[in-house]
Amino acid sequence: MKSKAIAQASLERSSKLGVAEAQEKNQILASKYWTWGEIRRGDCTIDGGATFTLFSDGSTTWVCDISSSDSGDEWDGAFRVTNAAGVVLFDTGGYHFDISEENVKKRWNEFRGPNGQLAAAFNEAYGNSFTCSC
């Protein structure tokens, strides 16, 4: 219900960084991915294993299983990628998912195409945090 107070946006740092090498023969791009444990905001939950992937061409995917114990909830978030020294390389645009139904697990699977700014940051990308609210 929208009468409930919206939970404050807060920061979740990724728990793991993974790297996959390019396979030119198979036309597979190099990638870096970060995973998170369970994230809870208000009535909403993102299950552990949520994954943000950055590809060498600057395209991205965000995949997670999400649910809410209340109908009408919506999840908003954005990612901040840093280098090993903690310097911000880029912030993504906002992500939005309409959960709508209570007690129904849904798959949030969002792909964003190639992006020159993100591609330029690929080699240095190391840390990732997810600022989010529901």
Residue boundaries of the structural domains of the chain: 31-107+114-133
Q: Is the pLDDT of residue 76 over 90?
A: yes
Q: Is the pLDDT of residue 5 over 60?
A: no
The correct CATH number of 31-107+114-133 out of 1.20.58, 1.10.132, 3.40.50, 2.60.40 is 2.60.40
Residue whose pair of structure tokens reads 């280098």 in the numeric block = 83
Q: Is the pLDDT of residue 44 over 90?
A: yes
pLDDT band of 61, cuts 50, 70, 90: very high
Q: pLDDT exceeding 90 applies to what percent of the chain? A: 73
Beta strands in 56-133 (DSSP E): 60-68, 74-82, 88-91, 95-98, 106-112, 127-133
Q: What share of the chain is helix, strand, coil (3-state, %, to 5)?
A: 10, 50, 40
